[in-house]
């Protein structure tokens, strides 16, 4: 190698900035009026990759997606790890309408909260599988329907919107999440019911269906042991947003300054500010490797 040419090359200004260091923060901390925290995110590369296909932010509306449809997320209780969603097609005390049902994807990282109650409405009592018991030799995965429905059915059927249909109470069936089977499938066409209602609380007014909390409550876990990742906690303490990237969807911390680091934003912020004062007659080669920023000053 010609040393003179090499010396000349090294004396040139070398200033390499990776794309992740120049873009603005892509992972936001809210979607509409819903605060966004781990494991959820506002788009690809944000939050936990296991949750990204199911919870998304479009036009400032946070939505939950399954194979049966896309549902608005009304709120998230991060302390108790519960996400609340609504289904515009379900019936409530205010209105009744036909529906195809609601189901979770089998591989989705969610389960129904124990307080969620499903009331299936206008079911065919003579042929629906929900009225058949496994003791009768059927292969149905559904247990016998609770046709009495505790007070839920009678109170729902007292609502003006439902009472206009003149449905007998025997066509109402109350389900709890465990009754839906391992795939959490509630296919109303298969069950021969025309609609359903879901609620996750009575607001302290068990006898007033107009005050009930209509919707579906879903539980989620961070991981198998349900431990909040330390790297994510450190990222959030530094005003970053937890995300992922690379071919293996490895953890990254998305920082307000535009940096994507593999630890936190404190390091990224210090490097970002230091580059503002780098003299232009010094060549700087910035290498981002495994979350470490190495600067070679080439004279």
End-to-end CA gap in the chain: 19
Is 213 inside a domain boundary? Answer: yes
Is 166 inside a domain boundary? Answer: yes
- Whether 103 and 199 map to the same domain: the answer is yes
Mean pLDDT across the chain: 77
What pLDDT is recorded for position 272?
47
Who wins on pLDDT, 291 or 103?
103
- Whether 168 and 279 map to the same domain: the answer is no
Quick check: bond before 39 cis, omega within 30? yes
What pLDDT is recorded for position 56?
93
Residue 218, classed as helix, strand or coil, is strand
- What's the token pair of residue 11? 């004396």
Is 56 inside a domain boundary? Answer: no
Last residue of a domain, one of 220, 236, 263: 220
Please check whether residue 260 is in contact with residue 240, taking contact to mean a CB–CB distance below 8 angstroms: no
* Arithmetic mean of pLDDT, 264-290: 46
- Whether 206 and 263 map to the same domain: the answer is no
- Whether 208 and 275 map to the same domain: the answer is no
Is 136 inside a domain boundary? Answer: yes
Nearest to 184 by CA among 118, 120, 105, 107: 105
For residue range 182-197, what is the model confidence (pLDDT) as tens digits? Answer: 556 788 888 888 999 9
- Whether 263 and 214 map to the same domain: the answer is no
Residues forming a β-bridge with 199: 117, 214
For residue range 207-256, what is the model confidence (pLDDT) as tens digits? Answer: 999 999 999 999 999 988 999 999 999 999 999 999 999 888 999 999 98
- Whether 181 and 289 map to the same domain: the answer is no
Domain of 101 in residue numbering reads as 67-220
- Whether 190 and 273 map to the same domain: the answer is no
Is 37 inside a domain boundary? Answer: no
Phi, psi dihedrals of residue 91, rounded to the nearest 5°: -90, 150
Is 57 inside a domain boundary? Answer: no
To the nearest whole percent, how much of the chain has pLDDT over 90?
38
Cα 62 off chain centre by: 9
Residue with tokens 């937890």: 242
For residue range 35-77, what is the model confidence (pLDDT) as tens digits? Answer: 999 999 999 999 999 999 999 999 999 999 999 999 999 999 9
CA–CA dist 44, 57 (Å, integer): 10
- Whether 71 and 216 map to the same domain: the answer is yes
* Arithmetic mean of pLDDT, 144-161: 75
Q: Are strands 250-254 and 30-31 parallel, antiparallel or unpaired?
A: unpaired
For residue range 7-22, what is the model confidence (pLDDT) as tens digits? Answer: 444 433 333 333 334 3
Report how many domains make up the chain.
Answer: 2
């Amino acid at each position: 190698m010609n040393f003179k040419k090499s010396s000349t090359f090294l004396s040139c200004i070398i200033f390499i900035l990776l794309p992740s260091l120049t873009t603005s923060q892509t992972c936001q901390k809210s979607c509409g009026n819903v605060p966004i925290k781990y494991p959820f995110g506002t788009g690809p590369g944000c939050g936990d990759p296991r949750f990204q296909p199911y919870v998304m932010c479009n036009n400032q509306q946070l939505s939950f997606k399954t194979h049966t449809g896309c549902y608005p997320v009304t709120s998230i209780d991060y302390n108790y790890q519960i996400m609340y969603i609504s289904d515009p097609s379900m019936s409530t005390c205010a209105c009744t309408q036909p529906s195809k049902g609601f189901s979770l994807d089998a591989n989705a990282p969610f389960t129904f909260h124990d307080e969620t109650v499903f009331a299936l409405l206008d079911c065919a009592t003579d042929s629906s599988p929900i009225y058949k018991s496994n003791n009768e030799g059927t292969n149905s995965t559904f247990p016998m329907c609770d046709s009495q429905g505790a007070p839920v059915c009678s109170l729902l059927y007292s609502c003006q919107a439902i009472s206009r249909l003149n449905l007998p109470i025997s066509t109402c069936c109350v389900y709890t999440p465990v009754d839906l089977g391992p795939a959490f499938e509630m296919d109303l066409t298969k069950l021969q019911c025309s609609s359903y209602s879901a609620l996750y609380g009575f607001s302290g007014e068990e006898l007033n269906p107009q005050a009930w909390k209509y919707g579906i409550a879903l539980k989620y876990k961070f991981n198998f042991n349900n431990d909040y990742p330390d790297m994510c906690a450190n990222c959030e303490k530094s005003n970053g947003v937890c995300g992922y990237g690379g071919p293996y969807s490895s953890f990254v911390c998305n920082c307000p300054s535009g940096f994507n680091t593999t630890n936190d934003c404190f390091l990224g912020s210090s490097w970002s500010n230091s580059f503002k004062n780098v003299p232009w007659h010094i060549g700087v080669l910035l290498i981002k490797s495994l979350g470490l920023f190495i600067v070679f000053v080439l004279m």
